[in-house]
A and B are shown apart, each in its own frame.
Chain A
Amino acid sequence: MAFGKFLTKRLLQGAIVIWGVVTVTFGLRAASPGDPVNLIVDPATSPEIREQIREDLGLNEPIYVQYIEYLRDLLVGDFGYSYQSSRDVAALVIERIPATLELALAATVVAIVIAIPLGVISGTRRNEPADYGATLFSLVGISTPNFWLGIMLILVLAVQFGIFPTGQRPVALHDALWTFATTLHAGELLTWVRHITLPAIALGTYFTALITRLTRSGMVDELGKPYVTATEAKGLPEVLIRYKHVLRNTMIPIVTVLGLQLGTLIGGAVITETVFAWPGLGLRLINSIYALDWPLIQGILIFIGVGFVLINIVVDSLYAYLNPRVIEE
């Protein structure tokens, strides 16, 4: 019962946040300079047609009427039509989600594969060269802008050494997996891996550095606890103590951060996707911003906002389910 109340409260809070996102994006649209009709038709188009378009889009209505109508349309899933392509905004958003999710997940995998061993080594070898190295890596990783890193990766690993391609997404992951599952040919899957590696590193480096730091500090905390001394006294091997007992306890906050950071990764993909011409939501957002295609900008931002809120609710709920004290607090 308490959990149900907790969940309801979180959902209501989430709804308020989403309403806030919708309102802010609408406010930005209303405050931005420029006549939307110029984005839809050539300036030479007759005044009658321009007026008709204005009428059709409701641009002649007072701003509060436009706002109410926009909210009403959103409630029935109508995000409007892109000024540039005249296509349904919801469709334009949905078709780009897989590419962005692929990138975000690949960046997460990169982060986990590198950060956790590095964090463990750093935490268990405090003040040794390995620790200094890992700390330096974390510092550099957190400080490096991902657009610069992306360009450097292209210049070094693609142009100079020719190990990876410079970008693009010639095949979708689900298609590559399907081909592999049905024919056992891994060609497409390898192509996908080659193309996503550099963007995933560029996007995941900040995240890797963050997780490395979290893992290190968690390891340091846990290693000082009495149960570690007890397990050592029992004569358990050091590797078992570190990886089975200590790391497991360290992972609880890390898993939470992993979930929450997925939303951040989707936002961070905007720059990475542009550098690597990776056709995801971020690239579409950038293109729509360049073109001031407001219905599309709003649609993408609302989607990212909703995604963020949902991930937060799921993580909070899992936490509350696993640890009922959170509900009481």
Chain B
Amino acid sequence: MNNNLGMPRDTAIDRRGFLKFAGASAAVATTGLAGCLGEENGNGNGDADEIDEFVVTQGEFVENADPNDHNATPYYNVFDQVYEPIFNVTGDGEIEERVVTDWEHPEDGVVSLTIRDDVLFHGGEELVASDVAYTINRQVDEDIGFPSDQVAGMTTIAEAEAEDDTTVLVEYEGAESLVEFQLANFGRAVNEEWVEGQDQPISDDMNGTGPYQLEEYEADVQAVYTRFDDYWGEEPPFETVRFNAAAESSSRVGALQTGESDLVVNVPPTDVETVDTEEGIEIRNVTSFRNIFLVMKSEIEPFDSQEFRQAMNYAVDNEGIINSVLGGFGQPMTQPIPEGLFGYNPDLDPYEQDQALAEELVEESGYAGEEITLQSMEGRYLNDAEVAQTAASQIDQLENVDCEIEIVPFDAISDAASEGPDFEEIPFYLIGWGNPTGDADYGLSPWFTSGGGQYNFVDEELDERLIESQQIDDEDEREATLQEINADIREEAPWVFLHLEESIYGVRDDLEWEPLQDESIYIDQMDL
């Protein structure tokens, strides 16, 4: 979702490797430091100054201007040009000099952050430690301002307090590495006094410390930014940047073709060839950290049977769906988390379609002749309804299972996900899950621990192992534990593992920029 990474596809890396990329991409994004992407950033080539305005067109736009009120990538992309992350972590696991310049653990469960003394907000106020403490508390404390959606990403952080003008103490419960991931991904410095003077949540103004400052904001429509002259880091590439939205994909592609937009998101596979063959524009794509899968609630028959759940996995042809429904864009899932995350198990393979085996497993489960309904939303993820339809029809091809498809609003699915493992109304549904923190915990704990917001699968032992994994400080041990958990979950088959969604962008072909797996867009990572 936010400050993650720009690692190349098909590259398995360890946690430090992830951090290296995370640090590099976010550093390039906000400080203009040369990073691990292997290219000079900022406006080094000078061509960026030759265009009046750089325009990014997304499919949706944020409805208010509060950086803590949402937890969705397209919204973070709008905010990340103005509100910068409080720190990054280098490939060696060290703090990178950002808003936070130093990091140490004076005692167990406490981390001390040292704040830069030369950072100004766009309103002219100086950034002090109490602003950073307030930033964190506003996310994790439901009584400050309003309950922030971002609390879900900061589960280990208890509270923050300013010790003096440049030192913040953050209390946490969990492994150090988790705290690092969570703060690096969700912390964006806001000014306490300014925020407290606004409506809660903030409706139409921004005041961050990032490389761009807000010129114009129209809810649901667009935001226009200009360079912030007093930015403490290097100058970003374009003088003016505009983020807008066009919900209709053909309109977005049209805007790219006519030059009204310089970068558009979510180009449909059917338009890929059109864009790629046109002069001056091209497609850039990357496998994202977003999983698409079918959830089976373990307390509802027939999904309480491991054999039946495995049968569903063997019934579906992931590769076929990717090739036929998604135009070849996507990667089959091998486990609950995407490749590249800390804790990913490289030794696992996707379930391969084997309908005879699926039928056998259904017989073993004792649920032969069962009639089930797969429910899916339409329009939330790339060709989601078509994916669900194909999967349902492949399950329906089994001799001993009948499967129907039903399209329902996303909200009904979202409710089903949070209603627990015994919710009978929607026991089998398609959903997607982004993994912004770079750590397996964000992809596993919400789904497989009883306190998680998306708890759909009851396995007390798994629940305990996951909670314990959050407390393991030794990185190698924690990684091995998470890999083992991933292998066990694959075997338990709580989901029909489908694919990792592909992020497909249309861009002007002279743009120096590589898409990031976390779907983030940082303007100062670009150049022409």
Chain B 244-285 per-residue mask, 1 if CB under 8 angstroms from chain A, else 0 = 111110110011011010000000000000000000000000
Residues of B within 8 Å of A279, CB to CB, are 218, 220-221
- Say if the beta carbon of A183 comes within 8 Å of chain B: no
B221 lies within 8 A of A85 (CB): no
The CA-CA distance from A86 to B147 in the complex, in Å, is: 12
Q: How large is the interface on B (under 10, 10 to 19, 20 to 34, 35 or more residues)?
A: 35 or more
Let me know if A231 is at the binding interface, CB within 8 A: no
User: Is the CB–CB distance between A85 and B203 below 8 Å?
Assistant: yes
A-B contact count (CB 8 A): 127
Q: Does A9 contact B (CB under 8 A)?
A: no
Q: Does B414 contact A (CB under 8 A)?
A: yes
Complexed CA–CA distance, A41 and B142 (Å): 10
| A33–B415 CB distance below 8 A | yes
Interface bits A274-317 vs B (CB < 8 Å: 1, else 0): 11110100011011001110000000000000000000000000
User: Is B220 in contact with A35, judged by CB distance below 8 angstroms?
Assistant: no
- The reply to whether B250 and A154 form a contact with Cβ atoms under 8 Å apart is yes
Given contacts A33-B412, A43-B152, A86-B69, whether A274 and B248 have CB atoms under 8 Å apart is yes
Q: Identify the closest chain B residue to A168 (Cβ).
A: B244
A87-B219 contact given A154-B250, A155-B254, A292-B411, CB 8 Å threshold = yes
Question: Do the beta carbons of A168 and B260 come within 8 Å of each other?
Answer: yes
> A276-B251, A279-B218, A279-B221 are contacts. A45–B147 as well, Cβ < 8 Å?
yes
Q: Which chain B residues (55-90) contact chain A, with CB distance < 8 Å? A: 60, 63-64, 69, 71
Instruction: Tell yes or no: B409 within 8 A of A by CB.
Output: yes
B248 touches A275 (CB 8 A): yes
**Contact, CB under 8 Å: B453 / A42:** yes
B138 nearest CB across to chain A (Å)? 14
Chain A residues 44-70 with CB under 8 Å of chain B are 44-46, 49, 53
A92: B residues at CB distance < 8 A: 219
| A70 and B369 alpha carbons, distance in the complex (Å) | 48
Report the nearest A residue to B150, measured CB to CB: A42
Rounded to whole angstroms, the CA-CA distance of A276 and B152 in the bound complex is: 35
Contact B203 A87 (CB under 8 A): yes
CB contact list, B392-438 vs A, under 8 A = 408-412, 414-415, 417-418
Nearest to A45 among chain B residues (CB) is B147
Report if A159 contacts B (CB, 8 A): yes
For the complex, is A34 an interface residue (Cβ under 8 Å from B)? Answer: yes
**Chain B: CB-nearest residue to A84:** B63
Hey, which chain B residues are within 8 Å of A169, CB to CB?
221
A135 in the interface (beta carbon within 8 A): no
Chain B residue with minimal CB distance to A53? B147
- Render B354-391 as a binary contact track against A, CB cut-off 8 A, 1 for contact: 00000000000000000000000001000000000000
- Contact of A82 (CB < 8 Å), options: B63, B247, B412, B446: B63
Looking at the assembled complex, report how far the CB atom of A254 sits from the nearest CB atom of chain B, in whole angstroms: 33
A42 touches B151 (CB 8 A): yes
The complex places the Cα of A155 from the Cα of B271 at a distance, in Å, of 12
In contact, A41 and B149 (Cβ under 8 angstroms): yes
A16 on the interface (CB 8 Å rule)? Answer: no
Instruction: Convert A121-142 into 0s and 1s, putting 1 for each residue whose CB lies closer than 8 angstroms to a CB of B.
Output: 0000000000000000000000
Given A39-B411, A49-B142, output 5 extra A-B contacts at Cβ < 8 Å.
A41-B149, A44-B151, A82-B63, A277-B245, A283-B247
The CA-CA distance from A92 to B220 in the complex, in Å, is: 10
Q: How many whole Å from A294's CB to the nearest CB in chain B?
A: 10
Let me know if A143 is at the binding interface, CB within 8 A: no
Q: B454 at the A/B interface (Cβ < 8 Å)?
A: yes
B146 at interface, CB cutoff 8 A: yes
> How far, in whole Å, are A155 and B452 apart by their CA atoms in the complex?
47
The answer to whether B414 and A34 touch across the interface, beta carbons within 8 angstroms, is yes
Closest A-chain residue to B248, C-beta based? A275
For A151-168 the 0/1 string (1 means CB < 8 A from B) is 100110011001001111
User: Taking the complex as formed, is B201 at the interface, i.e. its CB lies under 8 A from any CB of chain A?
Assistant: yes
Considering residues A49, A168, A292, which has the most beta carbons from chain B within 10 angstroms of its beta carbon?
A: A168
Per-position binary interface string of chain B over residues 125-142, scored 1 when its CB falls under 8 Å from any chain A CB and 0 otherwise: 000000000000000001
Q: Which of A43, A86, A162, A276 contacts B201 (CB 8 A)?
A: A86
**B255 touches which one: A84, A151, A155, A166 (CB < 8 A)?**
A166
- A199: min CB distance to chain B, Å: 11
In the docked arrangement, what's the CA distance between A33 and B60, Å? Answer: 23
Contact across chains for B412 and A43 when beta carbons are under 8 A apart: no
Closest chain B CB from A98 CB (angstroms): 12
Docked complex: B169-224 residues within 8 A CB-CB of A: 199-201, 203, 218-222
Is B250's CB under 8 angstroms from A34's CB? no
Asked if A8 lies at the interface with its beta carbon under 8 angstroms from chain B, I say no
CA–CA, A165 and B255, complex, Å: 8
- Whether A38 is near chain B, meaning CB under 8 Å from some CB there, is yes
Is the pair B414, A38 in contact by a Cβ cutoff of 8 Å?
Answer: yes
Query: Cα distance A33–B423 when bound, in Å?
Result: 14
Task: Please tell me if the beta carbons of B254 and A158 are within 8 angstroms of each other in the complex.
Answer: yes
Cβ contact within 8 Å between B71 and A167: no
27 pairs from A and B in contact (CB 8 Å cutoff):
A33-B412, A38-B415, A38-B418, A42-B152, A44-B446, A45-B142, A45-B151, A84-B64, A86-B64, A86-B199, A86-B201, A87-B64, A87-B219, A92-B219, A162-B258, A165-B258, A166-B251, A166-B258, A166-B260, A167-B251, A167-B255, A168-B222, A277-B248, A279-B220, A287-B63, A287-B247, A290-B379
Contact B247 A274 (CB under 8 A): yes
Query: How close is B387's CB to chain A, nearest CB, in angstroms?
Result: 19
CA A40 to CA B218, docked complex, whole Å: 21
CA distance A35 to B453 in the complex (A): 14
Task: Name the contact of A38 in the complex, choosing from B69, B221, B260, B411 (C-beta under 8 A).
Answer: B411
- Please, which residues of chain B bring their CB within 8 A of the CB of A45? 142, 147, 151
In the complex, A84 Cα to B247 Cα: how many Å? 17
B254:A166 contact, CB within 8 angstroms: yes
B409 touches A292 (CB 8 A): yes
Which residues in B have their C-beta under 8 angstroms from that of A151?
A: 248, 250-251
> Which partner residue on chain A sits nearest B244 by CB separation?
A168
With both beta carbons as reference points, the residue of chain A lying nearest to B152 in the complex is identified as: A44
How far, in whole Å, are A98 and B119 apart by their CA atoms in the complex?
40
Q: Report the Cα distance A168→B221, complex, angstroms.
A: 9
Name the one of B152, B254, B411 contacting A159, with C-beta atoms under 8 angstroms: B254
